[in-house]
Amino acid sequence: MNVLADAESDKDGDTAPQIAASGTVTMAMPLGKRSREQIFRETTETYLATLGAFGHASLPTPEELEPQLMSRIEGEFAMENMAFRADGGAGGRLMKPSSLPPIAIAMAMRKLFRIVVIRPSGTSEGEARARGMLARYETTGPDEGLYVGRPEYMRSIVRRFSSGMSKEGAKLVFDLVRSHADAVEPNDNPDLIAVNNGIFDFVKKELMPFSSEHVFLSKVRTNYDRNAVTSPIITNPDGTEWEIVQWTVDLFDDAERTQLLWEVLSASVRPLVRWNKAVYPFDEDGENGKGTFLVLVRCLVGAGSWVSIPIADFANKFQLAQIVNKSLVVTDENDVGSFSDKLANYKAVITGDVITIEEKFENPYSYVPHVFVIECLNSFPKAKDTSRSHYRRQLFWPFSKSFTGSANSSIKEDYLTRREVLEYVLHRVLHAEPFYKLSEPKASRKVLGEFKNLNDPVRACWEDIEHQLIWDLVPTAFLYELYVAWTERYAPNGKAVGIGEFGRRIGAIVRETGHWEQGTYRPGTQMNEPELLIERFDLRNWMNPSYTGTDPSKRCQPKLLERYRGFKRSATWVANVDDDDDDSDLDRALDVDCDLPAAA
């Protein structure tokens, strides 16, 4: 029986008690005939009808409500048992409850608070009710303006009504509340930004008050001050001056990377924009400013809105629960050479896709993370994922300048934590010209290229041999044998991938260059010249079977087949790559035919 649904049956005029003008209550069931559930439901509804609407200042707290409602329930049980005795004892005596029952708590929670089911974008209302996060709107305190969930937090609310409520009892309360709570989608307008003292409209450049109609799960915990237009100047102990804009310039001596710094700060306070990038502050040496920048971004977003999760930990399903009600993932250290095997959750978080949140001993629920990801790296991470969908989510941000011996510790420990500095930074990024895509400095593109080669030997091989190829038509089977020989020579501790995997990878890699077409082609004159890589890597299957001499130019002219599956050089062809297509490039990659040279 859905008792919470029955509790609202007064809408159809059936069993709920009615309050007469005199203030007395008329019962749908006569005294002495009611069940415990009916008493709980009717008494709670009658009491709640005397209270104001949600948000009214006169509403009691759970601690105030509990003794008042318990007194009424106990009184109703006493009246019921008196009627039972007067009726000759027919039907059985009812035992009084020792605490508020789940149905009463559920009804009271819906009266006192705005409680909703968070509906992930793209899910049905039924799915949301079954798997969405239950959350309460906060009207005061540090989380004012937010809908806050997490199972333990919601249980803490239940315990305010009944301190001894068990976990199983709290689950029953949640089920009752969930069945009638509104299913709402979080705000998806990227130009509405929840700051500490309201909602900022990024387009209109104005601050609005918080409202329960705007569903935010996190906020920037720095106040917006419309007068914070001048960058504070701070005097150092030695009498020199420090100012944050100049400090950002001095970090790099590179205008592109300084520009990216301000973009990253903006992205950190605008998590509803689909940036589709994780930013990697990168350098293999210390004392380069990475850690100091992270102090700034953490202080700007504020404690309670950021979390630290290393890349490898995204594969741990229980770690993802930390993302709930957060807007920033920012991590100081990732293990040197850390190997990331399963990156599906990591990629989903970066692009704001639906993930499943699992906490130990809790029911899983669906959640859409709106977080910006910053992962500091002191070396390249290792990953099995070599797809474009992985690489295009990465923005390496080199911190190549050294401050060894000249670092000012006051910047990190004092200046960047000051309210006036943070409010100026927030004002500056909120009043900047709107942008919705992060720039890629030249230095970033260079480091990404290095990472791709280190992470994928197939790519490294291609980068090495492409400019050495003489043939204008390069069979895939030839490339594979060349890759195997290259791996044995330059990566002896590595293991060459199979020909099928090689075909998928090389197809995607070669298309990126825009220098080659792929398909099945007749050799024509495109393979007439000796391909000297045959000699260099001792590719015996591709040597001329009719020649036994030592002249490389003759040894490297195999007997050709009529057609080859492979790549044809083109100076004008440009690959048509759709940046929004995650993996279809790999799906379309050529399937590998083992086209070996014709036998003698």
Full DSSP string of 346-395:
HHHHHHT--EEE--TTS--EEE----EEEE-BSSPPEES--SHHHHTTEE
pLDDT score of 531: 96
d(CA 155, CA 140): 19
pLDDT score of 407: 83
pLDDT score of 26: 43
3-state DSSP of 208-254: ECCCCCCCCCCCCCCCCCCCCCCCCCEECCCCCEECHHHHHHHHHCC
Residue 183: strand, helix, or coil: strand
pLDDT score of 137: 97
d(CA 165, CA 155): 9
E-strand ranges in 29-187 read: 115-118, 133-137, 147-148, 182-184
Could you tell me where the DSSP H helices lie in 434-498?
442-455, 457-465, 476-490
d(CA 60, CA 51): 8
Q: Strands 234-235 and 241-242: what pairing? A: antiparallel
pLDDT along the chain (600 residues), means of 10: 39 38 45 82 94 81 96 92 67 82 96 93 79 92 94 94 92 93 93 98 96 96 98 95 96 95 98 95 86 96 95 89 94 73 86 89 86 92 75 92 87 97 98 95 93 88 94 96 95 86 92 89 95 95 93 93 94 42 34 41
- The 3-state DSSP composition of the chain as helix, strand, coil percent (nearest 5) reads 40, 15, 45
CATH classification (class only), 233-448 = alpha beta
Q: Strands 278-282 and 564-569: what pairing? A: unpaired
3-state DSSP of 397-423: EECCCCCCCCCCHHHHHCHHHCHHHHH
Q: How many CB atoms lie within 10 A of CB 529?
A: 13
Nearest to 219 by CA among 118, 294, 145, 108: 145
pLDDT score of 596: 42
Q: What is the pTM of this model?
A: 0.78
pLDDT score of 341: 65
Extract the tokens encoding 578. 């759709």
Nearest to 534 by CA among 490, 475, 494: 475
pLDDT score of 15: 39
User: What residue has token string 């990953």?
Assistant: 383
CA 233 to chain centre: 36
Residue 523 identity: P
Residue 44 near residue 103, CB atoms below 8 Å: yes
Please state the domain extents for the chain. 38-44+60-78+95-184, 233-448, 456-578
Q: Is the Cα dihedral 144, 150, 151, 152 positive or negative?
A: negative
